[in-house]
Structure 1
Amino acid sequence: MGGIIRSQLYKEEYNFIFSGKGSDVRRATVLSALIEWQVFSLASEYLSKRAVIHKPESNQEYSQSFNVLKMNKILTAEKLSQLQKFRIERNKSIHSIFKGMSRPEWEKQNKVVINLGWPIIKELDKLLFSAT
């Protein structure tokens, strides 16, 4: 896409995700936030090139951006499926710790989120910054 610039914070957190340092909870959280930002940025960049303003409500930012990527075939069906699976597993990690999940199960779930997110974040990074 090329119109978006990697900020210093983006670079630092992107590197942190793959560093193996820090807790899995933080890595899963940062990874989730970065993927949501990437999805939003891809959709916004696509629409801005068509003179369409993309400003969804904050609680709908991810879902509306995901739909832009889906409906305009910006991502393949396989990539969309990976994002959906990631989102399901991420939600388990976020919500299940206080709904009967044990700490060891929660830690394992955070690893699932990280492992699912790594290839997604790399692919979206390539799409966002291919021309920079």
Structure 2
Amino acid sequence: MEVTAIEVPADPLDYTTLPLPSINPKTNKPVSAYQARVWALLLQIPAGRIASYAALSRALQSSPRAVGGACRTNPFAPGVPCHRVISSTGYIGGFQGDWQKAPSGVNCAKKQQLLREEGVLFDEAGMLMDKTQWWDDFRV
């Protein structure tokens, strides 16, 4: 199931108003409250800006790995823009469970293309080129 656009709820802090199914179609498992909270925060990241897994985890009082897990199972990309989350080092990282140096590289190429269309560019090594594009203004 791919959602091409999803509206930010009237109260973007209330993840319970997101139009989410009870079962994640990507994993066939129930959508957890934590996943819904991560996905709600992803909707706060403006196009053309990026955030780190660490920034999301600070906002959620969680861990970067837990944020990565919620992003990896996000069935609503790019409508819920997990492609706007990268490593705190500025490295583009993975996308949809695939890492930059994965054999196929298909998902990472898709992430890079989505970000390029928003004006976020990376060098040949996968590092963010414009450090002013970092965003860390989450409202929780």
Give the TM-score of the pair, scaled to structure 2. 0.28
1 or 2, which has the higher helix percentage?
1
Task: Please tell me whether Structure 1 or Structure 2 has the larger radius of gyration of its CA atoms.
Answer: 1
Higher relative CO (CA 8 A, sep ≥ 6), structure 1 or 2? 1
Give me the TM-score of the superposition, normalised by structure 1.
0.30
Q: Which has the higher strand share?
A: 2
